[in-house]
Amino acid sequence: MSTVDYYKEPFFTSQTAFPSGETKKLLEGRNAIVTGGGKGIGKGITLRLAAAGANVLIVGCGNMAMAEAAAEEARAFGVKAEAFRADLAEEASAEAIRDKALQLFGGIDILVSNAAYQPNLDIDEYTPERFDQVMQINLWSPLRLVSACAPYLKDSGHGRVIFVSSVHGKRVAGFDIGYATSKGGLQMLMREAAAELRPGNVTVNAILPGGTAIEFKSGDTFTFKAERRERERVYRNPAGQGTPGDNGNLAVFLASDLASYITGVSIRVDGGLVLF
């Protein structure tokens, strides 16, 4: 497994609270859920939220050892953090995740829907079953989670929902039509949820990562057939890859009171990928 920079000294972890100069962490005492929070971009978000003072429930499924390790790293910041196994393709998972967060923390302030499935298939390789699997995890799961957590996010007084979409929801991916379609749909889901939850003072936004250095993705991205690898090469970013922490910095900002007037927007973290 390659070494990945999940965490560097974060931005936006504290703010001046009083004229006296006393400071507090931006998310001190807030309670967060991060799906897929044990690896990749999700882990970058988990550790930045923890560094900013948030307690974190890390939801995983396939590799719980990584989720447990991420929870241990998060606890080093002096917050509560626990790993929880849930299969997001299952309808009951959203309520189970919500109930676990309430059991641990007593409330929910931040919901980060990050987990996604990317099988890396061409059009002729998709079956109805595989396409439905992508939609279940990448679209249905975020909707179920928002529905389950909405009353508690409203009670929070500063509820935040952050969807992790992708630049491939805006531009052609060229290597996975199902994944790109789901990420485009997720951005409209975000906008609809932002409109519906606005009266409850809950903001809903999306992060759009570009190429990010992580150990692996769902599917075997390293055994693409030759023509798919060439398509991926064409869309490579001259600025290089970002890190999970780049996305984590934005998540902290969107989850904080600094972003209380920002809702219904998608923000790219892509080093200018769409410019090329």
CA 161 to CA 172: how far, in whole Å? 26
CA 133 to CA 138: how far, in whole Å? 8
Number of Cβ within 10 Å of residue 105's Cβ equals: 21
Give the DSSP H or E segment for 249.
helix 244-255
Give the active site residues: 179
Number of Cβ within 10 Å of residue 233's Cβ equals: 9
Give the DSSP H or E segment for 146.
helix 141-156
CA 114 to CA 5: how far, in whole Å? 18
Burial class (CB in 10 A: 0-12, 13-18, 19+), 40: buried
Rg (the chain; Cα; Å): 18
CA 165 to CA 13: how far, in whole Å? 24
In 3D space, the residue among 51, 77, 12 whose CA is nearest the CA of residue 256 turns out to be 12
Burial class (CB in 10 A: 0-12, 13-18, 19+), 275: exposed
CA 66 to CA 274: how far, in whole Å? 32
